[in-house]
Chain A
Amino acid sequence: MELTVTQENLARALTAVGRVASTKTQLPILSNILLRTDKNRLLIAATNLEIATTQYIGAKVVKPGAITIPARLVSEFISNLPNGQVDLKVTNDNLHIKSGNYSSIINGVIADDFPELPTINESSSIRYSVKTEDFKQAVSQTIITASNDSTRPVLTGVYWHSHEGQLVLAATDGYRLSERQLVATTSEVSAIIPTQTLQEVMRTITDDGEEVDILFDETQVRFRINEAEIISRLIDGNFPDYRQLIPKKSDTTVTIAKPEFVRIVKIAGLFARESGGSINLTADEDNKNLSIHSIASELGENTSEATVKVKGSGQITLNSRYLTEALSVIEGDEIEFSFSGKISPCIIKSTDKNTNYYHIIMPLRS
């Protein structure tokens, strides 16, 4: 293999791919990156047998070929080089890298030992094209409520499925739940994508204005953004039927400006660190008032109030961290916050009808 690429392209691709190469595995070659010529391009890939990520960069190929090299060393070396041309050449399983005054030889392993990268049958799969802004927003809105408890694998991913003509994303960790409608769909999809995969895709998205091409197969999913490709397995199992948990109606509904809500929740949260984030919210219809109370037995206590629109008075105790996180991903300037007494879940969403997102939090027992 012999070729020339630019340092900028190679460094970017290596860092993106290198994150997936893992050192914690039985198979030593998985900590390597695969370099392979593909016509006039260089394919750079890594896998941890859950995800495989691939980047293509333009190259002047003199002699086609392939090699694998340790991920960490090569990406650190390349990213420290000055901008400009980089010459890569393979002789006897070693990769010679030369750029200006810098040259090094990295011991590699022949590419035959590298696992085959999975491929997806495009014709038999379901395809979606989503604007990157929408994709980023929808994923970040749902991924925060996914569980990291590996004893319940189905909850450690985001559930992508079709429902009433929409592609819907949902995730829950048992304490809170979020749901977002992404695009209209006519096909039927039901797939749980691991959070790690989605995080990897999010990191791969660089500029807005692109499109994310998503392809669902029976057991795998592929994301393609420009020249980058991420293929991942899906989590096996059935996602719980979460829709039955959505409160049909609420006794109390509070409408409040988002900045103000964020501020009083944050302040109350300062006094709730000791009690596991527990803050007590009281809505008063007559006084048009929402007050949040929190107590830290040794430090003191706090009551913050805001003037709001209230329909039906009521009280609820929530974890301030969950509430803060929910508010951080909801769009719009005004929030509708509704609940029914101290034991039913509360539902939080924007008053803007175009947002297609809601967040549910279970109350704390108080």
Chain B
Amino acid sequence: MHHALWQSVLGEIELSVSHATFTTWFKNTELVDQNESGVVIAVPNIFAKKQFEIKFNDQIKGVLAKNGITPKQITYTIITNGKKTRVNRETTPTGEQQTADELLGTPTKNMYTQNAPLTQAGGLNPRYTFDNFIVGSSNDLAYTASQAVAANPGVKYNPLYLYGGVGLGKTHLMQAIGNEITKTQPGARVVYISSETFVNEFLDHIRFKKKGFSDKYRNVDVLIVDDMQFIAGKEKTQEEFFHTFNHLHQNNKQIIISSDKPPKSIPTLTERLRSRFEMGMTIDVQMPDFETRCAILKAKASLSGIELGQETVEYLANNIKTNVRELEGALNQLLAYAEMRGISPDISTAEGLLGNVRHSRPQHITSKQIIERTAKHFQLQVDEVCGSKRDKYIVVPRQIAMYLLRSELHLSFPKIAGELGRKDHTTAIHSVEKIEKAIKLDFLIREQVASIREKLYA
């Protein structure tokens, strides 16, 4: 009740003041009480309190009047973390009792372990927001589309399909959409699940004849499904999901899906689901470029309250290119190490540490990279390589891609066939054998394979 009123007040004020002013002063304010004697507005600190009392009081009075409320007086009270602060507490503070070990942990303890993520209803983690998502050229399309969806769920881009490699921020974006919607439309029912959860719940539903399964997902306003690829090959679940999808889409409910591949490349996805996934917006989330990686490192370091030197940031960003999760891992390792040893996390420390990060693990490549590299080498589109055409200029690159998947990643033949959108694994066996033989005989093929391999590990 109070909340809705305050929302409309804020909405009106936002139009009349500058964006900076609004975010500085009006964020984290709340109407906490309203009765005959007046209204009470909670503000975050003394500065805001003074500012409201002197500068914004008349404006707020005016807007409240428009909403049919003419309070005798408006009082502002400072509330932080949802509770009032007091000065005259008991001399020894109670509450938050800490044991000696927790408080004065021995210096070998890693101080950077963060609190376990707080989950709230709907499976959303409030820590993922648009504010702390770092945008660069590799992900700005995905970011913009996600914001558009969060602003107008169910209207634009339905479904929104995000795909890309591990640790590039798909989950972060999807969670941010969910969190944003729950914030702006508190009544909205937002459900976030992984496709695996969906599968498991569906199986329980069949096995134990549990009721309410279809209702659970059909009565939501926003359905977010992470890692859709796991639904591949599960016919009955796909059918159930198909109906859920149709139901939601028809009622203009927003659906957001993520996967590691575009719908076309998930081999055992039924045709009707595939075409549905493709009818909204399909966006690739790519590996962040150098500048974005630097920005991510700086943001993460300052979250831990540490200022990293430009040199150190560039060194880390230069050496870890594969994914953001790994980047964060290296940063955490650096900070923990520096804290443990009581030294500053500078470039020499980073070099000492990353030295072993780099040498101890093999170059990390993915099947997607192999296919892309191969296609690029022969100046083909990935779609063509994975497509169904059998012209010679496509067939050979396709076979080389299969060969590389086998030789570099040791994938199984059915997996290889799946990666290239083939159903039959014997095609893969044949291709790999053919290229193996050709490498021994054909100079041209040998050179091409070597060149692609070199670029893969460059």
Contacts and interface: CB of A to CB of B under 8 A. Distances in A.
Interface of A: 25-28, 47, 49-50, 52, 115-119, 126, 148-151, 156, 161-163, 172, 174-177, 188-191, 216-220, 231, 233-234, 236-245, 275-277, 319, 321-322, 343, 345, 360, 362-365
B305 A27 contact: no
Given A26-B24, A240-B98, A241-B93, A365 B106 contact: yes
A219 B24 contact: no
A47 B305 CA distance: 21
Given A27-B24, A190-B93, A236-B85, 19 more contacts: A118-B47, A149-B304, A150-B305, A174-B105, A174-B109, A190-B91, A191-B87, A216-B87, A219-B45, A219-B78, A231-B46, A236-B80, A238-B96, A239-B93, A241-B94, A241-B98, A319-B342, A362-B107, A364-B108
Nearest to A161: B91
A347 to B, nearest CB: 12
5 closest Cβ pairs, A-B complex: A276-B341, A150-B305, A236-B80, A238-B93, A116-B50
Nearest to A115: B51
Contact of B340 (A49, A116, A126, A276): A276
B87 A238 contact: no
Interface of B: 20-21, 23-24, 45-51, 53-55, 78, 80-81, 85-89, 91-98, 100, 103-109, 111, 114, 303-305, 340-343
A345 B87 contact: no
A233 B46 contact: yes
A362 B340 contact: no
B50 A117 contact: yes
Contacts of B98: 240-241
Contacts, number: 140
Nearest to B306: A148
A148 B89 CA distance: 25
Given A177-B104, A188-B88, A119 B95 contact: no
A215 to B, nearest CB: 11
A172 B103 contact: yes
B50 A240 contact: no
A116 B93 contact: no
A240 B94 CA distance: 8
A117 B80 CA distance: 20
A217 B92 contact: no
Q: In terms of DSSP, what is the predominant structure of the interface of chain B?
A: loop
A175 B104 contact: yes
Given A148-B305, A151-B304, A115 B47 contact: yes
A26 B20 contact: yes
A10 B405 CA distance: 72
Contacts of B78: 218-219
Contact of A189 (B23, B80, B87, B109): B87
B294 to A, nearest CB: 17
B343 A276 contact: yes
Contacts of A241: 92-94, 97-98
Contacts of A233: 45-47
Contacts of A163: 91-92
Given A188-B91, A321-B342, A149 B111 contact: yes
Contacts of B96: 237-238, 240
Contacts of A116: 47, 50-51, 53-55
B308 to A, nearest CB: 14
Contacts of B103: 172, 174, 240, 242, 245
A277 B106 CA distance: 14
A118 B46 CA distance: 6
Contacts of B88: 188-190
Contacts of B92: 163, 241, 243
Contacts of A216: 87
Contact of A149 (B46, B80, B305): B305
B386 to A, nearest CB: 46
B24 A174 contact: no
B93 A365 contact: no
A174 B104 contact: yes
A242 B91 CA distance: 12
Nearest to A149: B305
B79 to A, nearest CB: 10
B81 A236 contact: yes
A142 to B, nearest CB: 15
Contacts of A188: 88-89, 91
Contacts of A47: 47
A245 B103 CA distance: 9
B85 A218 contact: yes
A262 to B, nearest CB: 19
15 contacts: A49-B45, A118-B49, A172-B104, A174-B104, A174-B105, A188-B88, A188-B89, A219-B46, A219-B78, A236-B80, A236-B81, A238-B96, A240-B96, A241-B97, A364-B107
A150 B304 contact: yes
A237 B98 CA distance: 14
A245 B100 contact: yes
A362 B104 contact: yes
A162 B93 CA distance: 11
A28 B47 contact: no
B20 A49 contact: no
Contact of A118 (B50, B106, B111, B303): B50
Contacts of A25: 24
A236 B28 CA distance: 15
Nearest to A218: B87
A150 B53 CA distance: 30
A115 B87 CA distance: 25
A78 B141 CA distance: 48
B207 to A, nearest CB: 44
Nearest to A187: B88
